Chain A
Amino acid sequence: MERRDFLKISALGGATAALEGCGNPDHQLIRFVPEEDLVPGLATWKPSICTLCPAGCGLIVRVMQGEAEVVRHGQLGLLKMGLAKKLEGNPAHPINQGKLCPRGQGGLQVTYHPDRIKNPLQRTGPRGSGQFQEITWDEALKQLVSQLSPLQANKSGQLAFVTSPLHGLRKNIVGNFTASFKNAQVVEFALFDGGVIRAANSASFGVNAPPTVNLSQSNYVISFGADFLGTWNSPVAQSIGYGQMRQGRPGQRGKFVQVEPRISQTGATADEWIPAQPGTEGIFALSLAHVILREKLRPATAAGHAGSLIEGWSQGLPDYAPEKIETQIGVPAATIARIAREVAGHEPAVALIGDAATAQTNGLFNALAVNALNALLGSVGKPGGIQFGPAWTPQVAKSASSESEKSVAHSVQKLAEQIHSAPDAVKVLLVYNANPVFATPATWQVREAFEKVPFIASFGSFVDETSALADLILPDSSPLESWLDDAPISGSAKTVASLAPPAMNPLHNTRSMPDVLLDVAHQLGGDPAKALPWKTYDEALKAAFAALYKEQGTRSAKDADEFWTKAQDQGGWWSAEEKGIVPSGGKAGGAPAKSAAPEFDGAPGEFSFHFLPFASQLFYDGSLAHLPWMQEAPDPLSTVMWGTWVEINTQTAAKLGIQQGDLLEVASQHGKLQAPALVTPGIAPDVVAMPVGQGHENFTRYASSRGANPISILASMTVGNTSSLAWAATRVKVSPVGRGTMVLFGGSMSEAPPELRHR
């Protein structure tokens, strides 16, 4: 016996063992023949695209050989295959330049989620019960075709396609497919859709797009509610620029002022936090403009068309003198005047607006006011200010999508109204990548409307509140298993056409949504088949990239094939130079925007708090609540994990006798919910705030029945002159109802509920 073994034996107190073979095989599962021969232990990095938010960051995926437990031919076994192991930002990509946010990192779990739908499903139980049985793709497609073919003949538009806002070629495919049915409608739905900012930019600058904000050259940033480092617009691109602005230029550090009633993750990094009253952001911006004009720091004409949209601009905005509006917005006149002088004195300066400031009933006015301020400061179309990148529009076949745009119902709210008023309005509903049943106020009655639709097919990868209503689920392959393309509309002043082949083979019996649509179109024949002449999605993409090559790629490759191959290698194609669109000035005519006071649902006496839902840094709009990494990561500000909370001001809480962790009932005129209190000084005394994302009834084992959904109790208010939900325009009352449970990363484990404690 070796000395070493002897010591080990002594350590065990005399017990020992020399355990020779029991022939115990590592696994009892059979192994399937590998589909690809990879060198074990060697990693390759493949390009991909992040699809978890609209920013469209470029990814690189670390792929290595591994063994996956999969089902093939109805049998469970092990398969050696290339597996995605880690996601990082693509260093060559102009949007995120090698960086990636925590949500993007978590994208890996979409592919390996244990509750992914692995086969096509047919509903067996009542709608919403989540009872399905697995069927084959042949059966599933046959069912869909049999439902769609009667609609081909009639022209009453009984097909509706509800999808998340699409970019790139998927938009064409869905548009062409839907447009081949007469009067059918595509309804793009997202809670944070940016529609108000697009409408404002269209009016002010003639560009129907969110701005590209390159802060790296800015010297002064004033942001009205925009969480531009966390969730707003293109957060990774903006964070890179912000880092440059603050620390990348020796001896020169740009100042940053955040105007919002609750400190967001972005607001927490600001030099100055100004909690203006909700909905007064536009008035604040015009007050700054007033001071700048009054003190002749800029001429009124500098604002051009954007200024002319504001009533009283040429007279120097007399109604917005700081002294007149200080009580309305809750900010001292002296502060307003000081900020105005600072903004005007630090060129290039930029004003941003987003999130809650545009989700008030007067959100459009607020955005127009900030646009006018930017124009006055001379920061439109310039680095350090706001720019508009020329977005790539894939050109393939005749774009029937322009036709479909005409018939867009514009909002899920209108679609629901249509169905409620005429039960025959929609006979077949297709749903892709959107969960309107979860992310709309209960008063819109989207669930009730969808329940009336005779046939719903979902392309969901998970059973969520919307796909639980579906009669048929055609599971989409995960983004890492699919051909991807994207045309980001903001984040870079370059033209960007992202492209990525699948990083790995599908784990389960899933198919990519565009491939399914192409297949269905061929089976239907007629107009759909004509509108979608390709057999597979990559064939369509190749055609789109051939068109792009003809348009602008001649210097980067010798022919279209090389262009296509190179684009796959580097994750897409982007223009060499930054060619921002020169703002042309919007449509002339139309009455100038009058100052509009925000309207709120609920009388201030009874409902004494403004209710402010906010985009979660981890769950975004709730679509990522099913990823355990996102659930277990502490929120950056509150450090809450695995739950939701209501933020309430320290002094207000003391007045109401509320302590940290008390369970609060938050009630609007339209519903109520319960969540534990998080007492914080970083919120105005008459505001309570809640993160969006939790409170799913039905969204995998990790998100179901966890926390509360603030969207459900919102009033059905829309932003004036748009169809966007005014999600910050509800007032609520708050009352303590007992003791709640809230797990803080910063707290002790003894506060954690027993099921979360380590054994």
Chain B
Amino acid sequence: MSDMPRGTATLSPFSGWRHSLAQNMSFLLSFVILAGLTLLYIGLFHGQLNAYPGTFEWTSVVNTAVPTVLVAVGQTIVVITRGIDLSVGGVIDVSNALAATHMKDSLASMIGWSLAILALGAVFGAINGILVAYGRLQPILVTLATLAILQGLAIWILPEPGGLIPPSYSNTLASTQGPWSLCFIALVAVAWLVLRRMTIGVRIFAIGNDESAARAHGIPVRRVKVIAFALSGLLAAASGLFLAASTTGGDAAAGDVYILTSIAAVVLGGISFYGGRGSALGSIAGAFVLTILTNVLFFAGINPLYQSFFQGVFLVIAVFLGVILGRLVKAST
């Protein structure tokens, strides 16, 4: 330790890496799975086309992954407080539909509507949070209900798939020329690391660990829950905007698949549904795993009809592997 001389206290030398390995096992595992799957993808790609995936392929992977990443990070925050947010799908639907119907090809309109939609997402999330925290209702129940409401709202805004996203908006956010949208992922990753070092971050983890202990520590449990759900809503809205940009149009049901993929990404990221532990970086890896898995299944020549079957099998194996490895590491320390 460089900043040591203040006290004579020292940390035992063996305490470092073994501890962090044991404690971050499932988190690290998500990156190992991601690396393995990426190699498999490259191998299959090479086997089929006798070339390596280039800028076009990687851009497409990143652009497909971004909406999942955004929504999964929001889901992570809620799950760490020991909640769950099913309404993210509905928030994406509404954001997507609003963008496709209202955004005009002017800078003011694009920026204005983007901010308005993000704010709206945060408000939807906060309503979930208020119902959960102040109404003392179960998160799964509340968000199932608001999901249905938002889905209805989206259909009312955009009854049939269509609408138009200004091309300049699409090109800026979801450029097909290169994986520039990686910077959105970097942004949420940095935001996550900052959150971890803020009071609210500590509080989110604390209430997921033990709500009554958090209360005894003077933590405003209800307010923290509202903030957690609001962040989830905000990120879901961002996800909806990006989805609209990358598909250049709107679909009032576009968000529905993200309900389960966001949860799957969280699980793959090693975040416990009992709350209080985990890292959004894991969920980001999880979101990429799900995206690349689709490509792997495609290049493995699997009939698209059976895709979800193999996705399910893969999920069970991955989660099972995490549990086994966790036990092995625990036994060895």
B partners with A: no
